[in-house]
Amino acid sequence: MHRDEPRKRASVESPAPLIAREVAIAPQSRRPGTTALGAGLTFARALVGASWLGAYALVWREMGAEFDLDTDESRILLWLVLGFGGIGVLVLLVLAVLIWRGSNFARVVTMAGLTASIITAAVDYFRAGQEITINTSLLTVALDILVLLALSGRDARAWARGSRVRRRLRREAKRDARNSPQSAASEA
């Protein structure tokens, strides 16, 4: 084990280190793999959502016929489902980009939203008997769980919390570069 790698946690430990203030991550540190994986999986989750919307659009006539909807009602309902679903896909894409850039807010919102998605699938399974299969929600639930695991890690949390510090240091470096004597001499 290298000195840079964090020590694995014991199965039973005092909660004091978890409650204590975490060690600040170096401002010039690289993006952790868990953050990159979380952003990538969030992007994949958005693509899966878009493919589900496409699949619904293809079989919508049969679904409308099952519920005895006339053509106008069916068309309006389809556009509502596609509209709200499309907004959800766009939100996930924006969150994936923000997670990649180091936004802690996006990380937390993504984890909260995907937790709600997992809970909804669980309630449907236990209450209504909705099966979780490849044809229904297995892929989305699996991606939701993987995103939660990736984004809830210590490295991802510390790096996202340090993003403000990194942005501030970059702004200061740019400001210092503009105000440095070398740039003033080159302008004269």
Q: Give the separation between CA 160 and CA 130, rounded to whole angstroms.
A: 36
**pLDDT for 147:** 95
pLDDT at 49 over 60: yes
Tell me the whole-structure pTM to 2 decimals.
Answer: 0.73
Residue 139: how many other CB atoms lie within 10 Å: 17
Residues in the chain, total: 188
Q: How far apart (Å, rounded) are the C-alpha atoms in residues 46 and 54?
A: 12
- pLDDT above 90 covers a percentage of the chain that reads 39
